[in-house]
């Protein structure tokens, strides 16, 4: 790695935007944005599918019976899954959704059989509309603690206490409670479309904003699923007695969103490298099993990374690895980047020759070399954007650049295994390091380090 310290006038907008100042000791470095549309895609697809099913006039016998048992099935299977993997938060969310389904389904059954609602239907419905967003929000925001058993007991205790108090009040003061719940407190804020009791709207709003804030602070598939789930429940409640399948379908799908969120995160844990967000070694091993006949593998290693760690600290080193991963992720030519381990990365190209891949690798190498990493002192951070612009234009900032060496090998013989190709790429990487670093060397190349101009077609 070649470290250059010099005064820089930061002209590149992209650079400024990306350096969103993550404090690391006395330094600040970039935090790559991690909010992703893909986190929302599975729950949105489930919600869309659910709304479509609800819009159909009636489900056939098979789907009717399926949705009748689905909430119970999801609670049992999803609950067992969450319990085994210590996901108490999700377990309790499933339980809350199931309890809501159970309570309202009893009312619906009575309504269908008798042709009129039960005497306590309004009270039960209003209570559900108030308690659901509050409990869902509370339990979704309640972070898991280290002591799993204590955590689980605390959650059950809170749920139990709320349930007991609500039931006691409903039994002891049914009319007063119903009147209190259905009161229009803010007539000026009342609109025709508001078919739920008025208190439910601020409860949903607060829960929704808190869940969104949680997602923005920690963007995770599960947090996205919780947000979309709340939207589904907000749609479901006013339609419970109007749309025949709304309760079963949306309750089931909200539970499924939580389970899919847990499964999505479990997959990410197994196959994604947490630090860089790139697919990890396990994902690479899977990919190696189905590479076909023609492929190229490049091993890339950050130069003098130990020195960088020693001079700037491990945390800054971590940020640099993220930045390197961000550049590698952009490699063209259909290449896919993986974190091999430590400061080593692997790039895999399929259906291409080594000559075809080299310009893409060279483009990445150059992009990284030319990318200034600005190290700022936290104490000198500007108070606002204007001040920041002035400071960037007028002061000296400490800037370093990171370089990497690469070794490339190609599968030319069907008898070669991917592991042998990786070994060959590793040898070429070693040659690139010996040749002075910050260059690309391909397997079989005898002398000198290869530098090719990035004529990417």
Ligand X SMILES: Nc1nc2c(ncn2[C@@H]2O[C@H](COP(=O)(O)OP(=O)(O)OP(=O)(O)O)[C@@H](O)[C@H]2O)c(=O)[nH]1
- Tell me which residues touch ligand X (CB under 6 A): 275, 301-307, 309, 314, 317-318, 321, 342-343, 433, 437
User: Of 105 and 318, which has the nearer Cβ to ligand X?
Assistant: 318
- Of 306 and 330, the one with the shorter C-beta distance to ligand X is 306
- Residue 107 or 403: the one with the smaller Cβ distance to ligand X is 403
- Phi/psi at 375 (5° precision): -105, 115
Residue 236 or 320 with smaller CB distance to ligand X: 320
Min CB(189)–ligand X separation in Å: 52
Task: Tell me the closest approach of the beta carbon of residue 381 to ligand X, in angstroms.
Answer: 23
d(CA 252, CA 249): 5
Give whichever of 303 and 426 is closer to ligand X, judged by the CB atom: 303
Beta carbon nearer to ligand X, 78 or 279: 279
Nearer residue to ligand X within complex by CB, 197 or 375: 375
Minimum distance from residue 181 beta carbon to ligand X (Å): 54
Using CB positions, name the residue nearest to ligand X: 317
CB of 278 to ligand X, least distance (A): 12
Nearer to ligand X, 313 or 359 (CB): 313
Please state the closest distance from residue 110 (CB atom) to ligand X, in A: 60
Q: Least distance from C-beta 326 to ligand X, angstroms?
A: 15
CB of 170 to ligand X, least distance (A): 55
- Rounded least distance, CB 321 to ligand X, Å: 6
């Amino acid at each position: 790695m070649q470290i250059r310290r010099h005064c820089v006038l930061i002209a590149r907008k992209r650079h400024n935007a990306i350096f969103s100042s993550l404090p690391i000791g006395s330094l600040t470095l970039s935090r790559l944005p991690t909010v992703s549309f893909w986190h929302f895609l599975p729950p949105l697809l489930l919600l869309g599918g659910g709304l479509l099913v609800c819009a159909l006039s009636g489900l056939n016998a098979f789907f009717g019976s399926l949705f009748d048992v689905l909430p119970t099935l999801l609670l049992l299977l999803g609950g067992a899954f969450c319990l085994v993997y210590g996901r108490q938060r999700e377990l309790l969310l499933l339980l809350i959704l199931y309890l809501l389904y159970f309570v309202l389904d009893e009312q619906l059954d009575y309504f269908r059989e008798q042709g009129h609602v039960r005497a306590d239907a309004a009270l039960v419905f209003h209570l559900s509309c108030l308690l659901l967003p509050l409990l869902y929000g509370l339990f979704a925001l309640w972070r898991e603690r280290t002591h799993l058993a204590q955590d689980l007991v605390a959650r059950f205790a809170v749920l139990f206490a709320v349930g007991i108090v609500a039931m006691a009040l409903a039994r002891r003061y049914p009319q007063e409670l119903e009147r209190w719940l259905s009161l229009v407190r803010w007539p000026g804020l009342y609109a025709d479309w508001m078919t739920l009791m008025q208190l439910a709207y601020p409860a949903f709003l607060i829960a929704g904003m808190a869940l969104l804030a949680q997602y923005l602070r920690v963007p995770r598939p599960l947090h996205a699923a919780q947000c979309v789930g709340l939207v589904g429940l907000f749609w479901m409640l006013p339609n419970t007695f109007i749309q025949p399948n709304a309760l079963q379908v949306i309750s089931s799908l909200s539970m499924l969103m939580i389970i899919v969120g847990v499964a999505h995160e479990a997959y990410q844990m197994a196959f994604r490298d947490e630090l860089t967000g790139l697919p990890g070694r396990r994902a690479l091993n899977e990919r190696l099993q189905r590479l076909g006949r023609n492929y190229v593998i490049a091993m890339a290693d950050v130069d003098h990374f130990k020195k960088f760690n020693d001079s700037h600290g491990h945390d800054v080193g971590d940020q640099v690895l993220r930045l390197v991963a961000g550049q590698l992720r952009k490699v063209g030519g259909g290449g896919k980047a993986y974190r091999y381990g430590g400061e080593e990365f692997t790039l895999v190209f399929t259906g291409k020759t080594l000559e075809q891949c080299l310009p893409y690798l060279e483009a990445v190498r150059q992009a990284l070399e030319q990318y200034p990493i600005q190290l700022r002192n936290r104490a000198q951070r500007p108070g606002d954007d204007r001040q920041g612009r002035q400071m960037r234009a007028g002061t000296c900032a400490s800037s370093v650049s990171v370089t990497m060496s690469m070794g490339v090998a190609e599968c030319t013989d069907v008898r070669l295994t991917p592991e042998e190709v990786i070994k060959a790429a590793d040898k070429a990487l070693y040659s690139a390091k010996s040749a002075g670093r910050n260059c690309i060397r391909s397997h079989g190349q005898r002398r000198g380090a290869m530098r090719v101009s990035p004529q990417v077609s």
